[in-house]
Chain A
Amino acid sequence: MLEISLFYIAATVALVATILAMTRANAIHALIYLIVSLLAVAVIFFLIGAPFAAALEIVIYAGAIMVLFVFVIMMLNLGEEGDAREKQWLSPAVWAGPTLLAVILFAELLYIISSVEGPVSTAQVTAKQVGLTLFGPYVLAVEIASMLLLAGLVGSYHLGRRALDRNIHEADARALSESNSNSTSDSNADKGAQ
């Protein structure tokens, strides 16, 4: 009984936090609500017998991916203008259509859930079971996912590297032209020193 009430509390927190995350105009406030929502989902995972998934949800989603989101927001430096623009985008004309469609899907989902018998499973899924399943029947999927990640890593390295090389070339060219002009006229060198 306690578990069921805990589940519903966590589920309510997750729902409220997610809705608030969508409707906040301030990006940072939205992100904080999203983090709360992820934590609530982790609690739900823990309650329905998947502690390993719960821990990974916190370590990877709340602890790493969302940090990168906040990192990007910090770089953008949105400020008041960003909030105003975001408010403009959230006009009823924009969200009414998608909401209507989502409500239809939600009604269908409720109908499906109501036809399912009781709790699906109460068994604990331990870290060992997850590992055995991942590297047993699903080893191909794991390998493909790791290749995809490696491709992403190499790609981003390449892009970053190219920008770095270009900057170095430009800096070299600038240094070269400066040293040339320095040798031709002393007045330029004085200007440079100032």
Chain B
Amino acid sequence: MSELMPVLLALTILVGGIALAAIMTWWERRLLGFWQDRLGPNRLGPFGIGQVAADMIKLLFKDDWVPPFADKVVFIFAPTAIVVAMMMGFAVVPFAPDTYIIDVNIGLLFFLGMTSLAVYSVLLGGLASNNKYALLGGLRSAAQMVSYEVFMGLSLMGIVMMTGSFSLVDIVEAQRDVWFCFSQVLGLLVFVVAGIAESHRLPFDLPEAEHELTAGFHTEYGGMKFAMFMLGEYLGLILISCMITTLFLGGWFGPMFIGDWLPPFVWFGLKVFFVICFFVLLRAAIPRPRYDQLMSLGWKVMLPITLVNLLVTGAVLLWMEGA
């Protein structure tokens, strides 16, 4: 049974991830509608959930077209990269005690590696399209991702210092008493911002800013290839939410003073749901910054904050060791 568990879990994540991403397209629009005082898709089925099926059917039946001026092989390969990389990222997420695909002692680095590989999807998609708007979108995403990756990695090093391990299971276990969202407030702040930038969602969706770049890197994409980009993006959102839950919100543990009276997996799911809704709220509330503002926010605000966080965490740890 224990031999079979990772395989079963991997299949569950594959199917569940795609299903969740599809439902997210509807849930996000409903939430946005709620927060922006309008309706959103509410016609098909109960609460409009049939919209998911309608959208899927529409995307599936669209003409699968490759522009004649595009680099055909790279053009077709690009959308798969983001989905594969994001799916791989789920391999190290501990959903509950003993419910994970692998627990390696480099789990955190594996996650960072997979999110950084997802960049290629946007880059190559923008480049292979042979379209100036797509190219601009790809260029933006390259600069954005490379700079925000730096803080993303650095913001997690405080946690690694406090846990003494890169393993995500160890990191959750270390939060049995106090969650890292209290001891690593700055780390959480930077990680959330970097996470939005990595999954290039609003307000940091400059690679596909539709007001200035038509649709950015996926201007030339349609039908199922476009759907792959969307799938990858929503998988990224779910993955980032899972990581925030695992790293800062105590993973499968119930909140303090309330106790663990729900099964661990349910606590995990509730927290992930909360984080996802928070991301949607950010999208509803915050306007998109200008490109240079995004860059200077990264290097002039986020980088110093992470370095201060690292310094203080290290100093406190040394002081506690000495005391």
Contact = CB atoms under 8 A, between A and B. Distances in A.
Nearest to A65: B146
B74 A64 contact: no
Interface string A48-71: 000110111011001110011011
B109 interface: yes
A117 to B, nearest CB: 29
B124 A63 contact: no
A62 B105 contact: no
A35 interface: yes
Q: Give the contact-size bracket for chain B.
A: 20 to 34
B240 interface: no
21 contacts: A28-B71, A28-B74, A28-B127, A51-B106, A52-B109, A54-B106, A55-B110, A58-B113, A59-B109, A59-B112, A62-B116, A62-B117, A63-B116, A67-B146, A70-B120, A71-B139, A71-B146, A74-B126, A74-B127, A75-B139, A127-B106
A124 to B, nearest CB: 9
Contacts of B120: 35, 67, 70
Nearest to A79: B130
B266 interface: no
A63 B104 CA distance: 20
Contacts of B113: 55, 58-59, 62-63
Interface of B: 71, 73-74, 77, 104-106, 109-110, 112-114, 116-117, 119-120, 123-124, 126-128, 135, 138-139, 142-143, 145-146, 149, 153, 166
A157 to B, nearest CB: 10
Given A62-B116, A74-B135, A67 B110 contact: no
Given A29-B74, A126-B105, A71 B143 contact: yes
Given A28-B124, A58-B117, A75-B139, A63 B71 contact: no
Contacts, number: 81
A32 interface: yes
A67 B127 CA distance: 12
Contacts of B114: 58
A127 B153 CA distance: 15
Nearest to A53: B106
Given A55-B106, A127-B106, 6 more contacts: A28-B74, A64-B149, A71-B142, A71-B143, A77-B135, A126-B105
A67 B142 contact: yes
A151 B123 CA distance: 29
